[in-house]
Structure 1
Amino acid sequence: MSKNKLKNEKPESKQPKGTTPNPDILKKDKEPEVKVKELVKDERTHKVLGVFFLLLSLYCFIAFTSYLFTWEEDQDKIFHYSTKELLFGDVKVDNLLGRLGAYVSHNFFFYGVGIAAYLFCYFFFIIGVNFIVGRRVFRVWRNIKYILFGLLYISMSMSFIAGGNNFPWGGALGDALDKWTSGFIGKTGTALLLLVIGFSWLIWKFNFSFKWPEKKIKPPKPVPAPAPVPVAAAGTAAAAAPVAPQKNEQARKNGLREEGGILQTPINEEIEEEDLPPLQLVEKEELPIPPAHAAFMPPVPAPVIVPEAPAQWQSDLIRTEEEEMEDPGPLLYIEETEDTASVLQPKKKDKGGEVTFEIKSTYQDTEEDIEVVAPVMPLEPVDPFDPSLDLRDYKFPTLDLLENHSADKVIVQDTTELEKNKNQIIDTLKNYDISIQKISATVGPTVTLYEIVPAAGVRISRIKNLEDDIALSLSALGIRIIAPIPGKGTIGIEVPNVKKSIVSLKHLLASEKFQTSTMDLPIAIGKKIDNENFIADLAKMPHLLMAGATGQGKSVGINTLLVSLLYKKHPSQLKFVLVDPKKVELSLYKLIEKHFLAKLPGEDDAIITDTKKVIHTLNALCIEMDLRYDLLKEAGTRNIREYNAKFTQRRLNPLKGHRYLPFIVLVVDEFADLIMTAGKEVEMPIARLAQLARAVGIHLIIATQRPSVNIITGTIKANFPARIAFKVSSKIDSRTILDIGGAEQLIGQGDMLVSFNGELVRLQCAFVDTPEVESVAEFIGNQKGYPDAFLLPEYVDDKDPDGRELSIADRDPLFEEAAQVIVSTQQGSTSLLQRRMKLGYNRAGRLMDQLEAAGIVGPNMGSKAREVMVKTDSELQEILNNLL
């Protein structure tokens, strides 16, 4: 054998003493001894157990909560399959935590303690917290007593309250306790027993005080305080006098010191820092420059120290002596910009007492704004998923499809008309002894705003009451007085222009404000009086209510909103649900059905005109809203923006039902017709969508010709904060739509008032003609689209007789067995069939409907059990023989 070969020798410890160890012998490693006691006491073991119990608590909480919503679908599968198939098979359940979650929840609720099972989540939570923290945060044994009491009391109480309900609120334990107690002391006795036990536990836990309030004793009369001691002025000897101890503290605060029990005024003594009053910010007033003999004047008190003004203001802070003598008041600092340079120029007072008049500059579109720029899809994040890849070749409509209706890009300011109107306004006010200090004009597309500053002492209500007199003097229709203008110290008088300008939608869509917009749903509405483009986000509104008389621009306004969305959004990002009771207004958009429209499954026309289909569509939208909220809940997000961001980052699994959610805009062209024909069936789903659908990306645009209170109810108005009012026939209609008058004084043809974000703005609606809408729709419709329109969830009306016919020939195989159970127990309860026959809620409910059709049980009576019509087995057998 070689020398390098290892030999089997005795361990080194057993070798005789005095012998040298052989290097060729392989030493055995010592096996570490695991001590159970040390492992149990180890801090790491406690933390691992704490994490386990916390996760167990969270797991049970999620499973139980999901069971509240999925118990009807999962019960059939749990009863039908064995435990082995359920846990190790391929059964699909609806519980968020899968088959194990459904199985555990069913056993805790159905065979256990019902809703009181949530106490187990609390028990696992307190155990986990105690283990992780390493100390007794919660008292375990005290909480165990409370949990045991809660399991018995809550389960029995829920079974007693929800007796006859299909959901196992109290579980098997609660039902057993309730059945025994009700049989022993009756229903009334059981109710009293539960009340006594509940109040007894509350009194034992919180020890409420039931003492009768004692009579208050009048306090003794206060003793009059001694007269205060006079103190001499600083710098001289003070008159010393003894002072009561309770006065010392206040005297010290007044700057006096105590020596030998006598308060004296300190001489040449520094005041401590904590005795100084807090520093206050004082508004600085401009002091006049002192004359040359100011050095011989008596000294003035030290000025208040304020921070030094910035360098760019130094020149503004200097005024000459003549200016100071003319206006000795505080200075007003105004930061001057290029846009306001002409307005803020100083104006000298006219010696003749004439009112100053100026024409304010308005916002003008530049050549770059009108340049035709093709919209570009915003770049997606680095993540590869892009919802627009389904239509990768889609091209946005170009601006050359629209027409430029206004030949002049700049609003023409007729100085003769402006001067004439100015003089008429001033003369009318003078006739009523109302003087003004200043008047200015802002020229808009259709209306000119005259802003006046009344003289001191003039009441605003006097000017407001002269609305008709000013309209008479100007010979104009649609005079509107804003007294005062919000955010300004002026009164506004809106006068229609003799020569009106058309606001073209092409100008608004080509502007930089729209092209560079990052809004979710940008809509170009129109232009303000100062010619500024008004572009808002429909997703922030979040719903829009439009009203106006016939022919005042509602249909054009709807086309403006829809076309502006088509120019900005990809078909994968936006879907329209169009409701058109008139059948002709929205038919232009049928060409884009496979790109932007949504409809019900099985419908041929995506433009909804039938009232019954409108009801089905609105309820289908409610179902879609609920489904989207379920997706947001599973994804852990709060709104559609966060959800789609997660989905595009591939953080959500499509195999679990997650999908990219496009925005859905519901457009109703004539809401009054729907209310008159369907009433509550339309109002209720509209109200639901308006209340809840904002977060999941469903927005509403509703238009009506009749803004009366029976059409636009309080429920509708409360959930439509953004409103547009075209010209209406009366002041009552204006108050119905806007909560304020003014819409009855509009001049029509797109002149409108927009109430948004608490502001009321007058706009001229952008104009888009029918051929332009056709061109845009044809441009989109000629491109490759989806195979079909976006399908909404299917909705089945419970009141539809076609879906409620029940055929006895197609009865359940367990029909006879169920009938025998019902007749033998004389209890027409669906939950009884579930327990006796191990059925799910859906199948047990169908069996009960079939028994009702056969005349064995009576109709549904709510939470109470049905009446059993058959009393004996012989009667039942006769009925069964007749059904064969």
Structure 2
Amino acid sequence: MMNGNHKVNFPLKSITTTNIEEDLSILLNKIDHSIFGVEVGINNYGVNKFIITPAHLLTNKNQTTVDTRGGQFESYNCFEGCLSSPYFLPLRIDLNGHFEKQINLLKEIVKKDEDIVILWLFKKKYQWKYNALDMYRSYLKGNDYPSTVPFVRNIQQKTIKGLDKLASFESNREYSEDVEQKILDKGFDSQLKVLVKSDRHKEITELIHLLLEKYDSHNRLRLSNIKVDNPYNFINQGQMLSLSEIYSLFGGKAKEFIKPEQEIDVIDKNSTPSTPISDNIIELLPYLKKEEVKIDESLVEKLAESMKKVGIIKQARLYDATIQSGSRLTVITSKLPPDVNFSKIESKSKDIRVNLGVQSLGIEQGDVAGTIKFSIPNNNHQIISLREMIERKDFQEFKKNNPLAFIVGMDELNSPIYLSLAKLVHLLIAGSTGSGKSVFINTVLTVLLMCYKPNELRMFLIDPKQVELSQYQDFPHVQKVITDMSETITLLESLAVEMDRRYDKFGEFKGVKNIIDYNKQSKKKMQYIVIAIDEFKDLKDQYPDVDSYVGRLGQKARAAGIHLIVATQRPSADVIEGTTKSNLQNAISFNLGSNRNYRTVFDEGIPYENLLGNGDGVMRIEGYPKEFQRFQSSIIHPDGKEEGKIFDSLIQYYKEKDYDIGEEIPIGDEGRQDIPLIDQLKTIIATTKNTRIGELRKDLGVKGTTMTDLFNQLIEEGWIKRHNSKAKGYELIADEEILKEWQQ
């Protein structure tokens, strides 16, 4: 493939399809770097639809090779579809395949010897969110067409700022959640070509325009006449469409496909941390009084009556309905009513909820084909005791086979949910005030601290608010609770150094690639490391470049036994973005108030009207049987004062046991043998006379922003100056006597 203009020089296949929605949905979830698309041919004989795909995908279909020479279209008028506004502005995303369905109507107007070909090609776009977000910020400040080039965009913005001052008016635009949703979605370069063989090509393209006008929203898609040698040549012209926009055009819904090599690893039982330290520590947790939850059998009748009132069914009756109740929700499952689609019921969810008079209503596909499931809040909810959960035999069995096991809670029908942080790699937790987020974090950390010895597990806790995680300071597992955010970057840098050190240690044994294999062969075991950040927004407000540090750990830390828990009250696009977002694929959310926030966390909205607060949560975990799983989290104690006493007891327990805590992880200057970075840099420059930033940054193992600060300090101290030629970077000007003092 070539950069820029991507010419088709590999075998594309043309696959006849009777269901574009299904086949394209499969392809969208399997595709990686390849070009793919949809082709529709229309003549007076009918409509023929094809999926365009690389040869190695959708191999179970009948395929023919695409003729990419383009010569067969010489007698056609060619039109290209282009977005009218900058590519980050969205089309409508709620039409569920309207364009594809309406294409069939064109066959009614096609005459003999006329032919229409609609060709839509796509290629997945990686790492486009950074630039798109920055372009959107520029757009909000009045830049109608922000350049994709940051340098040019800065010039545009300065010009606009100057014009605003001269004209004495502000050109700021109103922020849109719809735009944010597109930028957060998966992105695809797209290319629409319409080829018409007819003297009536203007009339035909006007009809296609009418179909495209249905998608007018913040952006529009329009056709313009062009000359083209080969419509299959994919040329990247910045025509970005999101996954949601593609589904709106052709129908379908995203599904999670996990390739065999990406499946959750099977962990050897003998390689995991030990079983519980002692039953005695569990006895320090209290049992909590449970209120009995009674099933309200009348809900089935009330639900049927509500569906009749909003016009879904003619008779107030549900077929083969069952009703079950859990700690927080009552679940009614029934067959879909005759001649009623699931989507129709789903679209009326708010009306049904209002008629029922309930705070929340969940509507999901049932576990059996042709059924639908309704989740309705109970009048009173049952507290789930952490002690009750941790004592369960199934959790003890789960923990034996799963490193860093923790308790999520109970599902809608009181079945327990357990996860392994080691298998998740990293975890994002979101929730507004009162949602249960902080309580949930406490249960996760407490279970880990109770189930693993200090020499098996080391924790670093980052607490910007200085109130949420302070109770963990005296646990022997916890090396540091950071409340001064200036220390956070140093910590993350040091843990990256520790990660690299661990990879070097793996090389001591043949075939060792991860912490599990290493601990099997080494007498001296490596500890698992857990880093928990309680309020990521507060940290990022002070240190915007924290994304890069989280990203480095996120990409490589799993094999080294280093895992992140990142929590936030405000999961907006400017908080959870870029490398942070890409490395936090597994997420748990509590009440966030709006579906926009859920989309930021999960990349799409949740199938519930809203969450109830106080531990009512939903998770989306790679490899889990359900895309979205609702649950009620457990709790240590509902009274904060009593909970404090429990933590004191747990800490005292460990003090009396006097366990080996293992070696502390070197942090900051300690990790660099007590030599400050600036001194290390002076030694390297004095010895090598090298002033190239890129090479020196690699020698020190620091980020670009840190290197910039160090070079500024060297300029102030008279060590270097900027060279007259920008291409030559910096010039060494320190006296030879000074250099001799620093030479090795």
Aligned partner of 2:518 among 643, 660, 668: 643
Report whether the alignment pairs 1:496 with 2:377: yes
C-alpha contact (below 8 Å) 2:515/2:559 kept by paired residues? yes
Cα–Cα, structure 1 residues 561 and 857, in superposed 2: closer, same or farther, change >3 Å?
A: closer
What does residue 5 of structure 1 align with?
none
1:662 is aligned, of 501, 524, 527, to 527
Corresponding position: 1:756 with 2:621: yes
Residue number in structure 2 paired with 1:460: 342
How many Å apart are 1:779 and its aligned residue?
Answer: 2.0
Q: Deviations over 1:224-283 (max 9, x none)?
A: xxxxxxxxxxxxxxxxxxxxxxxxxxxxxxxxxxxxxxxxxxxxxxxxxxxxxxxxxxxx
Of 744, 751, 768, which residue of structure 1 is paired with 2:636? Answer: 768
**How far off is 1:618 after superposition?**
0.8
Partners of 2:269 and 2:344 in 1: how far apart? 57
Q: 1:666 is matched by which residue type in structure 2?
A: I
1:438 aligns with 2:309: no
Residue 550 to residue 708, structure 1, CA distance change in 2 (3 Å):
same
Residue among 570, 577, 587 paired with 2:460: 577
Separation in 1, partners of 2:344, 2:719: 80
Q: Which residue of 2 aligns with 1:520?
A: 403
CA distance, structure 2, for counterparts of residue 637 and residue 555 of structure 1: 37
SS at match of 1:516: helix
Tell me how far apart the structure 2 counterparts of residues 432 and 379 of structure 1 sit (CA, whole Å).
53
Residues 651-690 of structure 1 mapped to structure 2, 5 A cutoff: 659-680=524-545, 682-690=546-554
Matches within 5 A, 1:70-81: none
Match of 1:590 in 2: 473
From 496, 499, 508, the equivalent of 2:389 is 508
Pick the aligned partner of 1:407 from 290, 304, 307: 290
Distance change >3 Å, CA 857–CA 676, structure 1 → 2: closer
Verify: 1:533 aligned to 2:416, yes or no: yes
Contact in 2 for aligned 1:546/1:701 (Cα 8 Å): yes
Q: Distance in 1 between matches of 2:714 and 2:613?
A: 64
1:608 matched to 2:482: yes
**Structure 1 stretches of 5 or more lacking a match?**
1-212, 217-377, 599-605, 649-658, 823-827, 832-840, 843-847
Alpha-carbon distance in structure 2 between the residues aligned to 1:481 and 1:585: 35
**Residues 876/729 of structure 1: CA separation in 2 closer, same or farther (3 Å cut):** closer
Alignment-derived partner of residue 434 in structure 2: 551
How much has 1:455 moved relative to structure 2? 3.1
In the alignment, structure 1 residue 734 sits paired with structure 2 residue 598:
yes
Cα distance, 1:407 vs. partner? 3.0
SS where residue 532 of structure 2 aligns? strand
Q: What is the CA deviation profile of residues 638-673 of structure 1, one whole-angstrom value per residue up to 9, with x for unaligned ones?
A: 21111111114xxxxxxxxxx421110111111110
**How far apart are residue 489 of structure 1 and its match?**
3.2
Distance 1:433 1:751, change over 3 A: same
Give secondary structure in 1 for the equivalent of 2:283: helix
Contact 1:722 1:757 (8 Å CA) reproduced:
yes
State the 1:853 CA deviation.
9.6
The answer to whether 1:709 aligns with 2:583 is: no
Decide which structure has greater helix share.
1
Residue 458 to residue 789, structure 1, CA distance change in 2 (3 Å):
same
Are residues 1:745 and 2:610 paired?
A: yes
Identity, in percent, stands at: 30
| Amino acid aligned to 2:374 | I
Q: Which position in structure 2 is the counterpart of 1:542?
A: 425
Instruction: Find the aligned partners of 1:857 and 1:402 in 2 and give their Cα distance.
Output: 61
**8 A contact 2:300–2:318 mirrored in 1:** no
Give 3-state SS (helix, strand or coil) of 2:474's partner: helix
How far the C-alpha of 1:712 sits from its partner, in A, is 0.6
Query: How has the CA–CA distance of structure 1 residues 854 and 776 changed in structure 2, closer, same or farther, with 3 Å as cutoff?
Result: closer
Distance change in 2, residues 1:455/1:573 (3 Å): same
Aligned AA for 2:544?
A: G
Q: Which AA in structure 1 matches 2:484? A: D
Question: Is 1:633 the equivalent of 2:507?
Answer: yes
Equivalents in 1 of 2:719, 2:597: separation in Å? 57
The answer as to whether partners of 2:455 and 2:660 remain within 8 angstroms in 1 is no
Within 5 Å, give how 1:288-303 maps onto structure 2: none
Whether contact under 8 Å (1:394, 1:784) holds in the other structure is: no
CA distance in 2 between partners of 1:588 and 1:787 (Å): 18
Distance 1:412 1:672 in 2: 38
Map Cα deviations across residues 331-361 of structure 1 (whole Å, 9 max, x no partner). xxxxxxxxxxxxxxxxxxxxxxxxxxxxxxx
Bigger CA radius of gyration: 1
TM-superposition CA deviations, 1:460-500 (whole Å, max 9, x none) = 22111221121112211011212x24664322211000121
Q: How far, CA to CA, are the matches of 2:681 and 2:307 in structure 1?
A: 84
Q: What SS does structure 1 have at the residue aligned with 2:508?
A: helix
* Partner AA of 2:604 in structure 1: I
Range that drifts further, 537-546 or 633-642? 633-642
RMSD over aligned Cα, in angstroms?
A: 4.3
Q: In the alignment, residue 548 of structure 2 is paired with which amino acid? A: M
Larger RCO (CA within 8 A; separation ≥ 6): 2
CA distance in 2, matches of 1:856, 1:446: 66
Q: Which moved more, 1:532-541 or 1:626-635?
A: 626-635
Contact 2:461–2:469 (CA<8 Å) still a contact in 1?
Answer: yes
Q: Normalized against structure 1, the TM-score is what?
A: 0.45
Partner amino acid, structure 2, of 1:754: M
For the 8 Å contact 1:397–1:779, the answer to whether it is kept is no
Task: Determine the C-alpha separation between the residues in 2 that align with 1:393 and 1:534.
Answer: 19
User: Which residue in the other structure is 2:354 paired with?
Assistant: 472
Say if 1:789 and 1:585 are closer, same or farther in 2 by CA, change over 3 A.
farther
Cα contact 1:588–1:777 (8 A) shared by 2: no
Aligned positions, number: 443
Report how far residue 445 of structure 1 moved. 0.6
Unaligned stretches of 5+ residues in structure 2 = 1-68, 73-267, 638-642, 693-698, 701-710
Among 544, 556, 567, the residue aligned to 1:692: 556
**Contact persistence 1:579–1:668 (CA under 8 A):** yes
Corresponding position of 1:561: 444
